[in-house]
Amino acid sequence: MVLWWIGNVVLLVVLVVVIALLNRLLAAVERIRAAADDILVDGVRLLGEVEDTPQLLAQTDATVRQIAVGATRYAGSVATLLPAK
């Protein structure tokens, strides 16, 4: 009968330890879930910000072309001013 009580006490201690470990695991999982939800919300918000990217890139391409034309004109003018080698 004494061994039965010792077995019950050991089982109770093991159960308390397992429950404590599961509680810590559940807390970590909840923190991960909250972080994943935040990432999802911010990702959806950022997706709305990049919808205008094709129009902005087209505008940037046009600006780069204009600058290239101006730089070519400037280089041609400077080339005429410099003495020939």
Q: 9 and 42: one domain?
A: yes
Q: 45 and 63: one domain?
A: no
CA proximity to 68, closest of 56, 79, 76, 80: 76
Q: 57 and 42: one domain?
A: no
Q: 62 and 82: one domain?
A: yes
Q: 40 and 60: one domain?
A: no
Domains of the chain: total: 2
Q: Find how far residue 47's CA is from the centre of its chain.
A: 12
Q: 30 and 57: one domain?
A: no
Q: 60 and 47: one domain?
A: no
Q: Which domain holds residue 6?
A: 1-51
User: What pLDDT does 55 receive?
Assistant: 85
Residue 22 has pLDDT above 90, yes or no: yes
User: What pLDDT does 52 receive?
Assistant: 81
User: What pLDDT does 77 receive?
Assistant: 82
- What tens digit of pLDDT does each residue of 31-82 get? 999 999 999 999 888 888 888 888 888 889 999 999 999 998 888 888 787 7
In the three-class reduction of DSSP (H, G, I as helix; E, B as strand; rest coil), residue 52 is classed as: coil
